[in-house]
A and B are shown apart, each in its own frame.
Chain A
């Protein structure tokens, strides 16, 4: 069974710090990886996706992918209280089919 694992947290960081969120996946053939942010009572919002090994940066967010270790992470620089949310890691192990496997999510708390 294809699985995506995340530490449920909560991960607590002070305002201005770097938050590091981690995700591992079981299917070595997975090709695309996604990070979503979900505020309580809201639908998931796509932060960014990554297909290739290495880093991908978008503003304060950096996604890091290591396919050999089956590991993907999200770094949030200069964390703000508004970043407090649940972060969902999703993996597409089926090629370009849109069938995403989601982790359980990590709750991030950014304290002023």
Chain B
């Protein structure tokens, strides 16, 4: 199965700052997905990232807050901008793997 690495694994950030999360896959994939899991909650899709095009954002998520880059078929970044404590969550990237969707190890973000 695909190996999906995320960096950083965790971080504690000051409100008002930004954090960029990296997602690296060991194989080429067409679509990459970014999810958020708030404390005690399930997963919510933030956006879909295709190489060579703008990311597609879900309702409630905007590019200014969560800019995404997808420079090639194995890599993507998600930035959480102008952070507030409400952004404290686990952020996960995901890829399609032979019909199932595999998740990276996640980035646990705490905003103070």
Give the interface of A toward B (CB within 8 A): 32, 34, 36, 42-46, 48-49, 51, 88, 90, 96-100, 102-105
Contacts and interface: CB of A to CB of B under 8 A. Distances in A.
A-side binding surface: helix, strand, loop or mixed? loop
A43 B99 contact: no
A98 B92 contact: no
A98 B33 contact: yes
A53 B15 CA distance: 48
Interface of B: 31, 33, 41-45, 48, 58, 90, 92, 94, 96, 99-106
B99 A99 contact: no
A98 B94 contact: yes
B26 to A, nearest CB: 16
Given A43-B105, A46-B101, A97 B42 contact: no
CB-based closest 7 A-B pairs: A43-B106, A102-B42, A102-B43, A43-B103, A46-B100, A49-B100, A104-B42
Given A43-B92, A43-B106, A102 B101 contact: no
A32 B98 CA distance: 13
